[in-house]
Structure 1
Amino acid sequence: MQTIQSKTIVFVTGAFVTNLGWRNWQNYFESKGYTTYAPAWPHKEGTAAEVRNRKPNDTALARVTIKDVVTTYENLIKTLPEKPIIIGHSFGGLVTQILLNRGLAAAAVVVHSVPPFGVIPYEFSFLKAGWRSLGLFTSLNKTYLMSFKTWQYAFVNGMSLEAQQAAYHENTIPESKRAARGGLTLAAKVDFKKPHAPLLFLAGGQDNIIPASLNKRNFKRYSDKNSITQFKQFDNHNHFVVGLPDWQDTTTYIYNWIQGL
């Protein structure tokens, strides 16, 4: 066991959504004495409506790569007085795994994480939910905005139509196809054999875009026996886990895990 002294948390946002979705999580952990940060990806500053209004001619966002996203968080972390606990959702989970691999985290939690290079996402539901974001046969100089129909399948399946619509309008923003494709390249590679700070995987039994089986394969790739790597599945969670009505069950689980290290 090892005690985590860090009182700083950096939240890493996933693709397709605004960083403002972390507000409840930030409030929760700040009430526990943590200082929290949830920066936007490059060129995604503003509310969901403000960022959507820049589509489709937001060429600056369209040029953003996975390396740009990782660098944004790495540069922030290097300004902090201590190594933070890093919590990332979806594509932000992948970025978190990269930052952890670089030795920048006191501990890390990946929530329904997009897997690093080498963990092949062959599940049909992943392909159905995510292939449009790669922008195959479309211009990389235009951003991709997830349609409401795709959002229903990929993020908010199982929720009421009213809740799905509210979540869409409050969270969904355009995405860089370059960044999305980067998750399938060597830019998304990590060394699974390398010793690392404590790492918790969270998976959702109802998640279509990052199914629990994909999370489990990601988790199982870590092989250093002296590093803490743990896995927890919430059977009723879809991909909108950060904003679900029972979000506090997730934050409480994470908090207790950190305290138990």
Structure 2
Amino acid sequence: MIIEPGPSAGLFCGRLPADWRPPCGYTCLVPPWLYKDAPAEELRRRHPDPQLASLRLSQLVDHFAGIVGALPEKPVLIGHSYGGLLTQLLVQRGLAAAGVAIDSVPPQGVFTFKWSFYRATWGPLGFFTDVNKPFMMSLRQWQYAFVNGMPLDEQRAAYEQLTIPESKRISRDGLTRAARVDFSRPHVPLLLVAGAVDHIMPAALNRSNYRRYARYAGSVTDFKEFAGRNHFILGQPGWQEVADYVLSWLQRHALAPARAEATPELAAY
């Protein structure tokens, strides 16, 4: 199993397999993005990092494709936010045994009319700002985009622990052909998960993403919306509900390991 984090929140979903109480038998890898191979505090200290500012979606997809291709078998890919888009693009390349896209950035051409989406993504896209300086989310932006509805102390703690700069170029690449998915192409089982109160990647947007696949018969594509969940879905109290649902979905599609005796191992590239 490979877990692909999103862009602006470090490796908060990287703790998921280690804390996942039911022993599910997976070896879990959480490889970092290019230019993000350090703790959040160090990545903030490097800001503005010109290497990070130059990062493009095509580079990142190739980076993860290389990691996946070096494994002895095709993995289950789980991605959150931009990692959800990466999951869909790697599934498109035929590199996965299955894919799970959580609160996913949509492929090219999938949109929503939800105002919260445009308000929350305006900063990361960085229009009319210097593209050579990565975007660093403010606490106020974080509160709206990621952790809406949570107590202030939890919002602040998550911000200080996890928030990191991000390339504006890679955010904008999500609007280009680099993020194109051929929804009609047969694919391995794919689950799209949404948080009902997610501002930056609204449930309606994830549902639209799902429906683009669902138009075509022949491949398993499922959708699950969780009430009361924001974009910090894997960090909110009770995140185990989401993790357990994903595991049960994998089991339903005969994608869980045959042996489930060992506690999952967490590794990183």
Same fold, TM-score > 0.5, yes or no:
yes
What TM-score, normalized to structure 2? 0.91
**Residues 1:201 and 2:192 aligned together:** yes
162, 175, 181: which one pairs with 2:172?
Answer: 181
1:80-95 matched pairs, under 5 angstroms: 80-95=71-86
Structure 1 unaligned segments of length 5 or more: list them.
1-8
Q: Indicate if the aligned counterparts of 1:12 and 1:89 stay in contact, CA closer than 8 A.
A: yes
Aligned residue for 1:243, secondary structure, equals: coil
**Residues 1:171 and 2:162 aligned together:** yes
**Residues 1:107 and 2:121 aligned together:** no
Partner of 1:250: 242
Corresponding residue pairs, total: 252
Q: Indicate if the aligned counterparts of 2:12 and 2:235 stay in contact, CA closer than 8 A.
A: no
34, 39, 45: which one pairs with 1:47?
Answer: 39
Q: Indicate if the aligned counterparts of 1:19 and 1:39 stay in contact, CA closer than 8 A.
A: no
Cα separation, partners in 2 of 1:72 and 1:63, compared to 1, 3 Å: same
Residue 62 of structure 1 deviates from its aligned partner by: 0.5
**Residues 1:124 and 2:80 aligned together:** no
CA distance in 2, matches of 1:177, 1:18: 16
207, 220, 235: which one pairs with 1:228?
Answer: 220
Structure 2 unaligned segments of length 5 or more: list them.
254-269
Aligned residue for 1:31, secondary structure, equals: coil
Residue 20 of structure 1 deviates from its aligned partner by: 4.8
Residue 30 of structure 1 deviates from its aligned partner by: 9.1
Q: Indicate if the aligned counterparts of 1:20 and 1:47 stay in contact, CA closer than 8 A.
A: no
CA distance in 2, matches of 1:37, 1:19: 12
CA distance in 1, matches of 2:192, 2:12: 22
CA distance in 2, matches of 1:258, 1:245: 23
CA distance in 2, matches of 1:167, 1:63: 27
What TM-score, normalized to structure 1? 0.94
**Residues 1:19 and 2:11 aligned together:** yes
**Residues 1:98 and 2:103 aligned together:** no
Q: Which has the higher contact order (CA 8 A, sep 6+)?
A: 2
**Residues 1:71 and 2:65 aligned together:** no
**Residues 1:192 and 2:171 aligned together:** no
